[in-house]
Amino acid sequence: MMNRTISIRSIQHYMYCPRRFALLEINDDWAENVFVVKGNLMHERVHSGERSFNSARKVVRSDVTIYYDAPEYDIFGVADCIEFLRNKNGVYIESLADKFTVQIVEYKPTKPKNQEFHESDAIQVYAQKLCVDAIFQCNSECFLYYANIRRRVKLPFETQGTYYDELLRKYLTQMRQILESHVIPKRVRGQKCSGCSLSDLCFPKEKSYSVRDQIASMNGGEK
């Protein structure tokens, strides 16, 4: 059986909640809340092309479509920003006709309060790294840029690459099992539910039932 190609964005949905992932991918459900809108606005600013430019020191490209079709991965997505820094000891990029070191920058609205980064964000960028490294035959450095503090955080793939690789492959296997089965995981209410844009679809608000109101409606509104 052939693998289902997985979008990098959907990996984060799965890590947030397997049921959310299934609702989006199998049921094709979608709803927006303030968290989704804020994230979308950030990405629209990045993907507008305003951050794409060439200079004597580097070449910057935003909204870059990427993929990695190795059988155990088979993933695709869009990188917020790839920076090519001119370096005589770097790799030769044919399309840019020069040697560069490569950096991936993923933009996020806010930095987590009690940690340097969310693991789901790190997995997202690690998946991007696999794609970029395969496309440009490089060993890219990876960063998260937090808009609220205007600072980059470097991700530890040089020392923890094996950990993130094993974790990514495990998630991809589990995601494909859900897609192949077409079975949506059961609802499990938790702390994340309040911030989920699919909360009302997943846990519909039940209207209270009144026998008196039901009888009144049958009698033309007379109680």
Q: What is the pLDDT of residue 11?
A: 94
Helix (H) or strand (E) holding 175: helix 157-181
pLDDT for residue 152? 95
- pTM for the whole structure: 0.78
Sign of torsion, CA 179 184 190 196? positive
Nearest to 198 by CA among 20, 11, 9: 20
Residue 66 backbone phi and psi in degrees, to 5: -135, 160
Give the H or E element holding residue 53: strand 53-54
Residues 6+ apart with CB under 8 A from 118: 112
Specify the pLDDT at position 206.
46
Map out the domains of the chain with their CATH numbers.
6-218 (3.90.320)
For 20-31, write each residue's pLDDT tens digit: 888 888 876 444
Residues 6+ apart with CB under 8 A from 95: none
Phi, psi of 141 (to 5 degrees): -90, 150
Closest CA to 126 of 162, 151, 90, 83: 162
More confident residue, 206 or 172: 172
Q: Find which of 2-6, 145-149, 166-170 is predicted with most confidence, using mean pLDDT.
A: 166-170
Question: What local confidence, expressed as pLDDT, does residue 23 receive?
Answer: 84
Locus of tokens 């039940």: 206
40 or 130, which is more confident:
130
